[in-house]
Amino acid sequence: MKKIFTYMMMTIVTMTLFTSCEEEDGYIATTLRNRDWQGYITRYYQNRWRLSGDSYATVMRFESKDEFYTSGRGYEVDFDTRSPYRDYAYCSFKWFIVDGEITLIYDDSKWNPIYIRNDYYLSTSQFSGYILDGSYDPIRFEFYSEGDFAGWDRYRSYSTGNYGDFRYYNGREMKMDDFDATAEQPVVLNRTEQVRQETGIADAVSVASGSFAKAMMEE
């Protein structure tokens, strides 16, 4: 009788924990989904593209088929805030959540997967914590959701030039006209067709321009 009772208790506890984890993952997915998360990831740009300085920023967007999914697809763009449509890398990814940990696997294998540890902070307006990208130490990230990101269509068109308003992440607002323009054409690396063939995913995309493209070509 004692063995049966112990087994039943263990089963109830296991089911409770499993349900709790499922509910937590669902909450995380709901909070992440369909928002433009804009901010920066320290040392990420240097680790991945060997780009130094503090003028870089990142925007991520998580999407899924419906509100019950804890996985889906998304997009990320990393750019130099001084020349956001000259120097950037834009790629799609697959994402999923297991026991609170968020994993992003990029469609282009040149981008390392990243793992967002479950000691992060997440609300409808802020997302911050640490990621692992294959380097030894966790990397700090800090994102904010402050409305729609105006640049998605521009990056998806694979072109450069001015495009409406743009938020510059040093505490003040800037217009695209405030950036230093140059007549020199940037290096563009468009691997979209290749990653679509490799992954079999019709909406997979990978495009880099300027300093980001040069770094990827040198790998």
pLDDT digits (tens, 9 = 90+) for 87-134: 999 999 999 999 999 999 999 999 999 999 878 999 999 999 999 988
Residue 141 burial class via C-beta count within 10 angstroms: exposed 0-12, middle 13-18, buried 19 and up: buried
Q: pTM, whole model, 2 decimals? A: 0.79
pLDDT at 51 (0 to 100): 94
pLDDT at 184 (0 to 100): 60
Q: What CA–CA distance (Å, rounded) separates 12 from 183? A: 67
pLDDT at 8 (0 to 100): 46
* Mean model confidence pLDDT for the chain: 81
Number of domains the chain is built from: 1
Read off the tokens for 143: 């994102």
Comparing 163 with 201, the larger pLDDT belongs to: 201
Q: What CA–CA distance (Å, rounded) separates 155 from 150? A: 10
For 36, the domain range is: 2-218
| CATH number where 101 lies | 2.40.128.120
Q: What share of the chain is helix, strand, coil (3-state, %, to 5)?
A: 30, 35, 40
Residue range 15-64, pLDDT digits in tens: 443 445 668 899 999 999 999 999 999 999 999 999 999 999 999 999 99
Residue 79 burial class via C-beta count within 10 angstroms: exposed 0-12, middle 13-18, buried 19 and up: buried
DSSP characters over 29-63 = HHHHBT-EEEEEETTHHHHHH---SS-EEEEEEEE
**pLDDT for 214 beyond 50:** yes
Task: Spell 198-213 as b/e; 16+ CB within 10 A means b.
Answer: ebeeeebbbbbbbbbb
Nearest 5°: phi and psi at 93? -150, 160
What is the share, in percent, of the chain residues with pLDDT greater than 90?
A: 56
pLDDT at 9 (0 to 100): 47
Residue range 133-143, pLDDT digits in tens: 887 789 999 99
pLDDT at 66 (0 to 100): 76
Query: Position of tokens 């499993």?
Result: 18
